[in-house]
Amino acid sequence: MTPFDGDDKCLWLASCGRDLIDLCLRRDAELHRLLSNTRIFPAHLAADDHRIAGRDWLNLVRNCRRQVPVDDLAFVAAEAMLANRDHAFLQMLQCAPDLARALRVWHRLRGSFLPLLQIGLGGGDRELSLYLRPAIGLQGQDRFVTELTISLLLGLLRHQLRERDPTPAVELAWPCPADVESYRLHWRIEPAFDAPVSRVRIPYPLLFQPFADADAARFAALQTRLRARLDDGGRRVGLLEFLRRRLRRALPQTLALEQAAASLSMSRSSLKRMLRQHGTSYGELVDEVRAELAWTLLRERRWPNPRVAQRLGYANAHNFRRAFKRWTGRPPSAALTPAR
């Protein structure tokens, strides 16, 4: 399996782009401006199986945000997608028996809808954490893609769960904007900002509450349909997601750059260049993977420092402490106190 890049055609226009484009057209955007520099032509909009590259979709998003300068575009787009009866993927999630099954299928079939974010799982005593990281370089649209994904998840919960207690929580990886009203209005949650990684925390009881529109037959039928479509196009993950998974599996050993490049059958320097295009570097990826595992082990499993250090491949707890401080600005002991 080779991972996909910004230039591989791995997104279906009908599921990722059509609702967004219609939404912008209803807000007086001009079609030719929305499609400029995206290699999408108006004729493609009607085709159900037209696929576009990640880079083209990101350009489309950039055009949409320029043409419709409102701060809640991602939230409204998510609502429009969830309400679209022809959106096979989101309709499938909405007729799942419960959130746990919906998330599992989302993960398994993520290739068929917006695989630009890697959704990593972590578990604590009381809640499930979904970590959202870019699966390829998102060219400055990280915030839009993250907001869109979280809006889809929260919208799914809002429409399907009758009881709203306990509540999910959201932490976002960017600084608090001057105006947080859009989050309040659309999510009805006050998110926390400046987190190391964007994440959604879902209390366990929510996972097993039955969905209002649960429909086992339809759920199965839609899954089969999407799986068939995916097998056609190949199941592929983003380059960054691919490397993170490799690195994580290799721990406590650190996978060398040469080995990673070999697994992608490319040279050391071309991998380096490629990562630069995606806005990151190999060292950053290694740190990210280690930091995430460290957080999980410290906070969710309450492991002591020396044991975590050993698991991450550090020679001693002292080195680990220093590295942890470099990643987060806080010593590991601070990880045990809950986030603000």
Partner 1 sequence: MWRQHLPSLLLLCAALCVGCTLALSLGQPKPLSAIAWYDVLGEAVTLLVACGWLGLVVAYRPRGWVSHCLIAGTGLLIWSYALDLFDEFFEYVGVDHPQSLLESAPAPLGMLLLTVGVAGWMREQRIVHRQLSGREHFLRDHRLLDPLTKLYNRAYLQHALERELELRAPDEPLSLLVIDVEGFARYNHTYGAVAGDRLLVRISEWLLMRMRPSSLLCRYGGDRFVMLLPDTPLPRAVRLGRLLQDRFAKLGDEAAACTLRCSAHAVDGRNGRTAPTEIGDALAAHSRASRRAQWAAAR
Between residues 84 and 328, which has the closer beta carbon with respect to partner 1? 84
Q: What is the 3-state secondary structure (H, E, C) of 85-116?
A: CCCHHHHHHHCCCEHHHHHHHHHHCHHHCCCC
Q: Is the dihedral of CA 259, 263, 269, 274 positive or negative?
A: negative
Tell me the window of 17-25, 51-59, 233-241, 250-258 that interacts with partner 1 (CB under 8 A): 17-25
Q: For 41-55, give the DSSP string.
A: -GGGGG-SS-EEEHH
CB of 217 to partner 1, least distance (A): 21
Instruction: Determine which residue in the list 22, 98, 215, 300 makes contact with partner 1, applying CB under 8 A.
Output: 22
CA distances from 269 to 102, 243, 244, 255, 314 (A): 40, 16, 18, 16, 27
192 binds partner 1 (CB under 8 A): yes
26 binds partner 1 (CB under 8 A): yes
139 binds partner 1 (CB under 8 A): no
User: What radius of gyration do the chain's Cα atoms show?
Assistant: 20
Helix, strand, coil in percent for the chain, rounding step 5: 55, 10, 35
188 binds partner 1 (CB under 8 A): yes
Q: What's CA 128's distance to the chain center, in Å?
A: 15
Instruction: Determine which residue in the list 4, 12, 57, 75 makes contact with partner 1, applying CB under 8 A.
Output: 75
CB of 168 to partner 1, least distance (A): 7
62 binds partner 1 (CB under 8 A): no
Q: Within a 13 Å sphere around the CA of 108, how many CA atoms are in the beta-carbon half?
A: 14
Site residues (CB under 8 A) for partner 1, limited to 81-110: 82-85
Provide the β-strand partners of residue 133.
Answer: 118
Between residues 32 and 162, which has the closer beta carbon with respect to partner 1? 162
Tell me how far apart the alpha carbons of residues 85 and 43 are, in angstroms, rounded to a whole number: 22
CB of 183 to partner 1, least distance (A): 10
Tell me how far apart the alpha carbons of residues 63 and 333 are, in angstroms, rounded to a whole number: 45
Between residues 27 and 227, which has the closer beta carbon with respect to partner 1? 27
Site residues (CB under 8 A) for partner 1, limited to 158-187: 158-159, 164, 167-169, 179, 181-182, 185-187
Between residues 157 and 309, which has the closer beta carbon with respect to partner 1? 157
In terms of DSSP H, where are the helices of 191-278? Answer: 204-207, 216-233, 239-250, 257-263, 268-277
- Other beta carbons within 10 Å of 50: 18
245 binds partner 1 (CB under 8 A): no
Between residues 12 and 187, which has the closer beta carbon with respect to partner 1? 187
23 binds partner 1 (CB under 8 A): yes
Amino acid letter at 26? R
56 binds partner 1 (CB under 8 A): no
Between residues 152 and 291, which has the closer beta carbon with respect to partner 1? 152
194 binds partner 1 (CB under 8 A): no
Tell me the window of 70-78, 106-114, 137-145, 221-229 that interacts with partner 1 (CB under 8 A): 70-78
Between residues 20 and 239, which has the closer beta carbon with respect to partner 1? 20
28 binds partner 1 (CB under 8 A): yes
CB of 320 to partner 1, least distance (A): 30
CA distances from 183 to 74, 143, 163, 206, 250 (A): 11, 13, 21, 21, 38
Judged by the rule CB under 8 A, the positions of this chain that interact with partner 1 are 19, 22-23, 26-29, 68-70, 72, 75-76, 79-80, 82-85, 158-159, 164, 167-169, 179, 181-182, 185-190, 192
